[in-house]
Chains A and B, each alone.
Chain A
């Protein structure tokens, strides 16, 4: 009898999980006892943290893009055919072309997407950088920016919680290099009562904002943008003007999740340690798709993929498992063009950022190149 594993999603979580399983279960696959099918909606795999560098013209789009088929172990069956329904009770995934994939184990790694249409005026009035086209558009707008107020704001939820700070500090250094700091006012807003969710990072960032002359406001949750008058309004009742608005739009999970009745807004109920979907013992949720209240970030996807691959390997090969996810997240945080800091934390250990340094900046740049080894399940 063949054990069928279906992985829905070809981002970091799905790709790493698939490659680790293919390596762990190599003998089972080559002997016909296990089959791994990966279903994705995109023939390309993009290293999404690279968008930030695209904005500042520091990497080319092709440097952060690979063909999905080139990243996957050849023993994995790849289907570029979006999943449109997941029937958990009958254990069938249906794709847009009408194919049906039955499974014994399902890994849901459908990720998240920006939904700028959920904030009135955002599509017309704002730049962002969470997809290639938008990052390129922002890059061009910055090249042509002659001065004025740049307001940075973000929706909830959003992935990569350090990105807003990175963008702001890199904007500062970008205009510093162009000798335009006297013409540009950076105005950072944040949804909660500090400038970052991690207190130690926030305390450090406030000092940096004040040292660099960056204005900031807290408890600002964007509600509406007037793209004609260039005014952004918040749920809390504040209004600010801008000459250029850069936002991180709110995110939702994949449409297939909602369409399949698996979770509101595309997030799936997930056990914080086993990563199992409620009572469906054969379904694992990884990466942005979980509803666990932790960072939606590439490293989260990576560490969860490690756990899911090990759990499935143990269950298939040995019949049981005790491996659990401990909440681990690791993030580099660019503090400008020359320095970076680094944080890690898990469910039991709070984050404690290192002092920014050039070495950490170069480590981050190095990892940007090494990511492809992570995607292949090697690093």
Chain B
């Protein structure tokens, strides 16, 4: 795995609206290229949706894992 340092953290736990995926898209869209963003999700479905969107748009997933009762996801904006 690449070496990386986190530039921004978005904790979506407890967020029902605009919700985890909207928060993820917003954070990625507003970030500069190269920015590494760490997300925390409450549900596995959110991580699956995030993974799908990030791959479809063409950014890089650095971490995708379950930790206890939440999910940890790290993405690098590459374009």
A interface residue numbers (CB < 8 A to B): 156-157, 161, 191-193, 197-198, 219, 221, 235-237, 264-265, 272, 293-295, 327, 329, 345, 347-348, 350-351
B interface residue numbers (CB < 8 A to A): 10-12, 14-19, 21-23, 25-26, 29-30, 49, 52-53, 56-57
CB contacts (< 8 Å) of B25 on chain A: these are 156, 191-192, 221
- Inter-chain CA distance A197–B17, complex, in Å, is 6
Report whether A351 and B22 are in contact in the complex, using a CB–CB cutoff of 8 Å: no
Report whether A293 and B10 are in contact in the complex, using a CB–CB cutoff of 8 Å: yes
Write the chain B residue with the least CB distance to A235: B57
Interface of A is mostly: loop
In the complex with contacts A156-B26, A191-B22, A192-B49, A219-B17 CB distance below 8 A: no
CB contacts (< 8 Å) of A193 on chain B: these are 21, 49, 52-53
CB contacts (< 8 Å) of A350 on chain B: these are 16
CB contacts (< 8 Å) of B52 on chain A: these are 193
Report whether A236 and B56 are in contact in the complex, using a CB–CB cutoff of 8 Å: yes
Write the chain B residue with the least CB distance to A155: B29
9 intermolecular pairs with C-beta atoms under 8 Å apart: A191-B22, A197-B17, A272-B14, A294-B16, A295-B17, A327-B14, A329-B16, A347-B14, A348-B14
Report whether B26 and A157 are in contact in the complex, using a CB–CB cutoff of 8 Å: yes
> Shortest beta-carbon distance, B28 to chain A, in Å?
9
The total of Cβ contacts below 8 Å across the A-B interface reads: 68
> Shortest beta-carbon distance, A207 to chain B, in Å?
20
- Inter-chain CA distance A265–B29, complex, in Å, is 12
Write the chain A residue with the least CB distance to B8: A264
In the complex with contacts A193-B21, A193-B49, A193-B53, A221-B29 CB distance below 8 A: yes
- Inter-chain CA distance A293–B26, complex, in Å, is 10
- Inter-chain CA distance A158–B29, complex, in Å, is 13
CB contacts (< 8 Å) of A235 on chain B: these are 29, 57
A161, A236, A293, A347: residue with the most chain B Cβ atoms closer than 10 Å: A293
- Inter-chain CA distance A235–B26, complex, in Å, is 12
In the complex with contacts A156-B25, A157-B26, A198-B17 CB distance below 8 A: yes
Report whether B19 and A198 are in contact in the complex, using a CB–CB cutoff of 8 Å: yes
> Shortest beta-carbon distance, A349 to chain B, in Å?
8
- Inter-chain CA distance A295–B22, complex, in Å, is 11
CB contacts (< 8 Å) of A191 on chain B: these are 22, 25
CB contacts (< 8 Å) of B10 on chain A: these are 293
> Shortest beta-carbon distance, B31 to chain A, in Å?
9
Write the chain B residue with the least CB distance to A221: B25
Report whether A192 and B19 are in contact in the complex, using a CB–CB cutoff of 8 Å: yes
CB contacts (< 8 Å) of A161 on chain B: these are 17-18, 22
> Shortest beta-carbon distance, A274 to chain B, in Å?
15
Given contacts A156-B25, A293-B10, 15 further A-B contacts (CB under 8 A): A156-B18, A161-B17, A192-B25, A193-B53, A198-B16, A198-B17, A221-B25, A235-B29, A235-B57, A236-B56, A294-B17, A294-B18, A295-B17, A329-B17, A351-B16
Write the chain A residue with the least CB distance to B20: A293
In the complex, the 8 A-B pairs of residues with the closest C-beta atoms, listed nearest first = A197-B19, A347-B14, A293-B15, A192-B21, A293-B23, A295-B17, A156-B26, A345-B16
- Inter-chain CA distance A50–B64, complex, in Å, is 43
CB contacts (< 8 Å) of A219 on chain B: these are 53, 56
